[in-house]
Amino acid sequence: MMLPEEVPEVLRALAPYMTEVCEVSLADWQDNPNSGAWVKFRLPDEKHLEIYRGKNRAGRTQKWGQRYQMMLIEINDDETPMQTEPEKQPRPMKLSQVAGALCHDEKFRAWCEMQYGDPCPDETAAASLIREVCGIESRAHLDVNADAAKVFRELLTDYDKAKDEPRTAAQE
């Protein structure tokens, strides 16, 4: 990522390659399966339009228009480059969400049958088994009940270990 104070130096280095430098404002954009993705910018005045006159443009008679390399820098009202926010790390899933996802996993349900001896043919049965093993009435309690969360984490650890163990011919 480029720091705002580095922008002027980079622009000077790129100057020989630049066709046009001006401030534009976003006018419209669209992402459409038929026409594709496009962006429309509003130029400050018609003099900035001159470099495009006579160039091929996509439309009814041309599939592709003149190609350009574009570099955009979002700016603040005071003309300084806007600082982009660092990428946010995804928040970890709640235990109730993990439990819900596991209930849909056929391999998890098969492991539950082997581990606990009860049939676990569908999501409802898996959810019931998790509630029973963790001693809760709802998977949502995994997010607020520390004891149930501990039991569920142990269940996850056991399941992860079982997934990592090589299968014997008798298990297959």
Distance, in Å, from the CA atom of 100 to the CA atom of 82, rounded to the nearest integer, reads: 40
Task: State the average pLDDT over residues 34-60.
Answer: 83
Q: Is the pLDDT of residue 125 over 90?
A: yes
> What is the chain's mean pLDDT, rounded?
84
Query: 27: number of CA atoms within 13 Å, CB side?
Result: 9
What distance in Å separates the CA atoms of residue 120 and residue 112, rounded to the nearest whole number?
A: 7
3-state percent helix, strand, coil for the chain, nearest multiple of 5: 45, 10, 45
Paired residues of 31 in beta bridges: 37
pLDDT of residue 115: 92
Nearest Cα neighbor of 68 from 42, 39, 47, 32 is 39
Q: Is 18 exposed, middle or buried (0-12, 13-18, 19+ CB in 10 A)?
A: exposed
**71/125 Cα distance (integer angstroms):** 55
User: What is d(CA 28, CA 19) in angstroms, rounded to the nearest whole number?
Assistant: 22
Q: Please state the rounded mean pLDDT for residues 56-64.
A: 76
Question: What is the pLDDT, as a whole number, of residue 169?
Answer: 42
Cβ contacts of 40-47, under 8 Å, gap ≥ 24: none
| 19 contacts 69 by C-beta, under 8 angstroms | no
pTM: 0.46
Residues 6+ apart with CB under 8 A from 53: none
Of residues 36 and 139, the one with the higher pLDDT is 139
